[in-house]
Structure 1
């Protein structure tokens, strides 16, 4: 008798299970996790730096973990706030997963941290379908990206507890239609708050931090329409999407579980990359001659509150 196993569904279900456990672990420690998703160049790092500076100025216990394919540039910027910061280098992987976040937090996240900001890899496709055990999921878009961004990426915006518009000081110059953007957000995520910000002129300064603090106390105020089951306000089943998420949008949510260039099942291609190394979950030096994606390592030459690891 043959049994058909949906590897895509199995991988996502496994991640959701680990995310639920991580959410419970961090809640028990009094830590709320804010998962920030956006395209590259949206101004996510600049906004986060502003919010971290405000947090440390208020005496709040915050920390940030930032993920990039390469460089420690973002971590060095964020560390100027005085908050503990860790850089995760994915070496080509397009998203974080719950088990990866758990591994990087182990032994690093300071006791008493009230809010942990996770700056996900700049990408609105792959990261959107992975629950990291977050308390608050935030989707960001700059005014330069166009009003139809929520319609093009319904998974990212449809699962958000909060939508943030950045670089509003450029809105007039690029002809940004705020009303159209809000209408498109409402189409994929009815009732979600849209927050306008500009780091340059100070619009909305501290608002993200306030929403994060509120979520830390009472959880998200908005439950996305795509959150149908599991943890309140976030976790979802991948067979129970709203009507607008059928067809191409649903394909978008699952496409990342395919190996991007080799056509291999995600369970082989990505899990091998994420957990490869002498001991999964332990930072170690890069092995000469074996520099594949995702190999765990601790980078030298990083000082202050910044820790770099992949």
Structure 2
């Protein structure tokens, strides 16, 4: 579960959004309040907030988001318990507060609004409110056996590693089995394996590298693997055309039926990789010995 929090000044607008019936909002938690409409609740907040006119961001807004899978199975009572535990973790039991659940997306989430001003006129300390919200949500998730934000991040990281390994494997398969000789041929072959290769063109209209889109995620070439930089891909395509035959002309390259200039960095990378290959061939053939 992920928790986000901040202090806001637009109490009425936020309250109206949370209570928007078009989003099938459902109240799951309320304390120290009697109102039955957004306007009534806002007025109750304002009565207390008038005791501390110096505080402008006088409402606390939180969003509690279980994972999509867990959100689907959590019922109203469980979401109420989740919210109550969060309120306790944030030391907000003495503040006016109301919470709504939104199921308008595939991702169920709870909007919680609490009056930052207490009945004694003091403002709740909102220092590091964002970080504290994350920690409180993590504690609640552990208590209720839900997935924590760290577990979500780890799962995403592992999924990212797996996808990058798949992209690299497909890249090697295309290069070894199909031996494309042009960038267009390479892009077409990768697309046939469900990997979209996206040329990165900078503001000067120069090619500076590539991105790979696969199964809903996008990675820079260097994020997939350092062996898949733009210079190395172009260099390998040149090798496929035959020794001494290049797919580039000076600092330009043929791409999608057009001649595209390469960025200085990409051109330098390509030249560096070519020099390494020349030196390697020289050593292999005994030149200099």
| Greater RCO (CA < 8 Å, at least 6 residues apart) | 1
- Which structure has the highest helix share of the two? 2
TM-score normalised over the length of structure 1: 0.23
Which has the greater radius of gyration?
A: 2
TM-score normalised over the length of structure 2: 0.24
- Which structure has the highest strand share of the two? 2
